[in-house]
Amino acid sequence: MRQEELEAKNKAYVWQPFTQMKEWVDNPITVIAEARGNKIIDMAGKEYYDGVSSLWVNIHGHRKAAIDQAIIDQLGKVAHSTMLGLANIPATELAEELVRLTPAGLNKVFYSDDGSTAVEVAIKMAFQYWQHKGQPKKRRFVALEQAYHGDTIGTVSVGGIDLFHRVFKPLLFEPLHAPSPSCYHCQIAAGPKNCAWECAAAMEKVLAENQEEIAAVIIEPLVQAAAGMLMSPPGYLAKVRELTNKYNVLLIADEVATGWGRTGKMFACEHEGVSPDLLVLSKGITGGYLPLAATLTTDEIYMAFLGDGADNKTFYHGHSYTGNQLACAAALANIRIFREEQVIAGLDAKIKAVSEKLSAIRGLAHVGDARQCGMIVGIELMADKKAANPYPRDKAVGAMVCMMARRYGLFIRPVGDVVVFMPPLASTVDEINQMLDIVYQAIEEFTSGRKTTPALSGGYF
Ligand SMILES: *Cc1c(COP(=O)(O)O)cnc(C)c1O
């Protein structure tokens, strides 16, 4: 099919995610036709580095032979059979692998389809756990300001991004809030150099005052991703674990974005030796191939749900595609590649390359902050760098910079005026250098006003 024809059909029939469709249909769009390695290729044959790993999911690049083959092999057996009343082979094998890979104490795996549903599972499990433990008043959740845990009603309830979540407020349950532990945006420390762990103290205050009512604290360990790659100070996660233990509250770690090597270790929790009570995984779990998610939990929580039929302790939750064989086969291949290619050990040099390029980017006139956690980067643009004054939102500077990068062969997406860079872990040092050179050029050219971006629909917010 020709580009024009496909573009017309897209605009006639498709409602794009997170997209102002008026803007989308009024502008030319990019249509991806295929991909190879760390690049995606549009219908005209133009190649773009996949600088955000196809929205934080891709790990080993596109068309990775071992994952392709694992899916093909599984197709020769069965694509999907239900897990309601039946077990299957790849979902069982994958559960064992996940238990081995994740922090100690997480021994049970509950499958779902995506990050949002896996967080819903964690919320419902935590809630129901306390019902079974004879503490039915423990039903509230503590969420961080600026949190993002998905787009379903339950996960939006524990979300804290005003732009996305405000409109749904009447539908939501009310969590308790603790401040975002983001250092660059910190409003509660006495000064930027005078941190006395005010964020952790505020969390403790919420827990101390409401512990009788709190089921769980939910956090994104180390990086609040959708908020704009906000990074918490080293030690914050371990402190929250300590506090949740002290106040008899469960800890849900949402590693949908940070899992699978992104932070330089397999899971962000490993940086601080933390084992949560519930761990949520998705995005990179299949190497970026197929939708799959897992909520892992402890024997303690699992055991609380055991009983006779009459006890009504069953966890009544499941999806049509729970434990889908094709997705689980892809996930098993993903884990094998991590092991065989020693992906984590190979990250050190790449993380260093990112950090070297970032020091140049940090020097640009309109870069307020350029933060990095392993292979996760957020570059925050500011109208006035010294005063940390943001650009007006309607200028869409982050989006414009990303459009400029697209012209130069790099696909990236901003969150507001934070330019996000999160390439596949398979990116080579050379590719990383090329991608970040494009980021530098795009920021420099656009923010200096030397060049403008072409009209093109990015569907940015
Ligand atoms: C993306 C994301 C989710 C939601 O996952 P979906 O697969 O998009 O539903 C949840 N939590 C975090 C931290 C995420 O980054």
| Domain match, 175 and 286 both | yes
Burial-class residue 73 by CB neighbours within 10 Å (0-12, 13-18, 19+): exposed
Spell out the per-residue pLDDT of the chain, length 461, in tens.
789 999 999 999 999 999 999 999 999 999 999 999 999 999 999 999 999 999 999 999 999 999 999 999 999 999 999 999 999 999 999 999 999 999 999 999 999 999 999 999 999 999 999 999 999 999 999 999 999 999 999 999 999 998 888 899 999 999 999 999 999 999 888 766 788 999 999 999 999 999 999 999 999 999 999 999 999 999 999 999 999 999 999 999 999 999 999 999 999 999 999 999 999 999 999 999 999 999 999 999 999 999 997 889 999 999 999 999 999 999 999 999 999 999 999 999 999 999 999 999 999 999 999 999 999 999 999 999 999 999 998 899 999 999 999 999 999 999 999 999 999 999 999 999 999 999 999 999 999 988 887 666 665 55
**Final residue before a domain boundary, out of 314, 340, 366:** 340
Structural domain span for residue 160: 68-340
Does 128 fall in a domain? Answer: yes
Rounded CA separation 127/175 (Å): 13
Q: How far apart are CA 29 and CA 455, in angstroms?
A: 9
- Final residue belonging to a domain, choices 305, 340, 375: 340
226 C-alpha to ligand 1 centroid (Å): 8
Looking at 340, 375, 397, the residue that finishes a domain is 340
Pocket test for ligand 1, best of 57, 222, 282, 290 (most atoms within 8 A of CB): 282
Question: Quick one: pLDDT at residue 193?
Answer: 76
pLDDT score of 192? 65
Is ligand 1 within 6 A of the CB of residue 295?
no
> Phi, psi at residue 194, to the nearest 5°?
-120, 45
Q: Is residue 264 assigned to a domain?
A: yes
Q: Is 149 in the pocket of ligand 1 (CB under 6 A)?
A: yes
Question: Nearest-5° angle of CA 288, CA 292, CA 293?
Answer: 115
16 and 34 in one domain?
Answer: yes
User: Does residue 386 share a domain with residue 406?
Assistant: yes
* 145 pocket-lining for ligand 1 (C-beta < 6 Å): no
| Shared domain check, 195 and 265 | yes
pLDDT at 63: 98
Residues in Cβ contact with 200 at an 8 Å cutoff, skipping those fewer than 6 apart: 181, 236, 239, 240, 243
Q: 380 CA to middle of ligand 1, Å?
A: 21
Note whether 40 and 148 are same-domain residues: no
Overall domain count for the chain:
2
Residue 189 confidence (pLDDT):
87
Do the domain assignments include residue 74? yes
pTM of the predicted model as reported, rounded to 2 decimal places: 0.97
Report whether residue 414 contacts ligand 1, using a CB cutoff of 6 Å. no
Q: Which pLDDT does position 218 carry in this prediction?
A: 98
Kindly tell me the sign of the dihedral angle through the C-alpha atoms of 59, 63, 66, 68: positive
- How many angstroms separate the alpha carbon of residue 283 from the centre of ligand 1? 7
260 in a domain, yes or no? yes
pLDDT reported for residue 456: 64
Q: Same structural domain for residues 52 and 76?
A: no
pLDDT at 458: 62
Determine, yes or no, domain membership for 251: yes
φ/ψ of 367, rounded to 5, equals -100, 110
CATH code of residue 300: 3.40.640.10
Cβ(284) – ligand 1 distance below 6 Å: no
- Indicate which atom in ligand 1 lies nearest the CA of residue 150: 4
85 C-alpha to center of ligand 1: Å? 28
For ligand 1, atom 8, which residue shows the shortest CA distance? 115
Same domain, 121 and 16: no
Answer yes or no: do 98 and 217 share one domain.
Answer: yes
- Residue nearest ligand 1's atom 10 by CA: 149
CB of residue 225 inside a 6 A radius of ligand 1 = yes
Say if residue 370 is in the same domain as residue 267.
no
Residue 28's CB: how many other CB atoms inside 10 A?
A: 11
Query: What was the pLDDT predicted at 359?
Result: 98
Distance 293 CA to ligand 1 centre (A): 10
Tokens 């997705």 sit on residue: 327
**Residue 457, domain member (yes or no):** no
Residue 456 belongs to some domain of the structure? no
Distance from residue 334's CA to the centre of ligand 1 (Å): 19
Residue type, 33: A
**For ligand 1, is residue 229 a contact (CB within 6 Å)?**
no
Nearest CA to ligand 1 atom 15: 257
Q: Is residue 350 located within the same domain as residue 326?
A: no
> Do 135 and 274 fall into the same domain?
yes
Residue 25 belongs to domain with CATH number:
3.90.1150.10
pLDDT reported for residue 452: 81
Q: Give a yes or no: residue 245 inside a domain.
A: yes
Of 111, 119, 151, 222, the one to substitute when testing ligand 1's pocket (max ligand atoms within 8 A of C-beta) is: 119
Beta-carbon contacts of 36 under 8 Å, excluding residues fewer than 6 positions away, are 62, 63
User: In terms of domains, do 351 and 394 share one?
Assistant: yes
